[in-house]
Amino acid sequence: MNELKKKWSIQTHWSKVLAMHTDWLISKGYTERMLESGEPDGRLKERIKEGITQAVQNTIWIYRLEEFDVETVGRFKEKEDTVVFRFSYQLDPAGGRLWLTSIKANLDATSLEYLIERNTPGQLPAASTVHKQLLAIQQNALLSRLYRETQQPPGEPVKKKKM
């Protein structure tokens, strides 16, 4: 009976941790419906739960911090722009803690990464803000390229910088 109570307590704890992280994501617009991802409601939460479960299982015999990633997509501008979001987590199974450590976002060839201090919900950018920042980066790159092209003398090939 005591083992059953302990197991239930552990499951309840991780359920609360999952709910807290899900609430953070919802508050910033990271739900299937808000992102118009085309996935069923709750799928992102299920991916996080799967990550927690796998991370806990990976550390049953050896204590270590375990990391895992969860991806989803968002569609913006009447579904013209598709942003891929990757949430990186770190789990401390012995301490019963889960941290969102970063968010990576990609729109076409443009990418951004946001580093998140341990459990600091204020640092979690809204999904719409991430999309706007990705668009701004794309627009700035386009303007820079156009500016460089207009600075070339007529008939001269465009000089490309080596990276």
Alpha helices in 31-156 (DSSP H): 32-35, 43-58, 127-150
CB-count burial class (<10 Å; 0-12, 13-18, 19+) for 39: middle
Q: Which residue has the tokens 């799967």?
A: 50
State the average pLDDT over residues 36-50: 93
Summarised one tens digit per residue, pLDDT across range 70-95 is 999 999 988 889 999 999 999 998 88
User: CA 99 → CA 52, 102, 121, 147, distances in Å?
Assistant: 11, 9, 10, 43
- Residue 61's pLDDT is what? 81
- Residue 123's pLDDT is what? 86
User: CA 29 → CA 58, 91, 142, distances in Å?
Assistant: 31, 23, 28
Domain boundaries, the chain: 2-150
Summarised one tens digit per residue, pLDDT across range 106-133 is 999 999 999 998 767 778 899 999 999 9
